[in-house]
Copies of this chain bind each other. A is one copy, B any other.
Amino acid sequence: MTATVIREATPDDIGVILHFINELAIYEKAPEQVKTNAGMIEATLFGPDAKTRCLIGEIAGEAVGFAVYFFNYSTWLGKYGIYLEDLYVSPEHRGKGAGKALLVHIAGIAVDNDCGRFEWSVLDWNAPSIEFYKSLGAIEMSEWRIYRVAGEALRKLARS
Contact = CB atoms under 8 A, between A and B. Distances in A.
A63 to B, nearest CB: 16
B74 A85 contact: yes
Interface residues of A, number: 71
Main SS at interface, chain A: mixed
Contact of A73 (B51, B79, B115, B155): B51
Contacts of A115: 154
A109 to B, nearest CB: 8
A2 interface: no
Contacts of A72: 70, 72, 83, 85
22 contacts: A35-B76, A35-B78, A36-B75, A44-B73, A51-B80, A68-B73, A68-B75, A70-B71, A75-B86, A107-B158, A117-B149, A117-B150, A118-B149, A119-B149, A120-B146, A121-B144, A121-B145, A125-B143, A137-B149, A137-B154, A137-B156, A139-B148
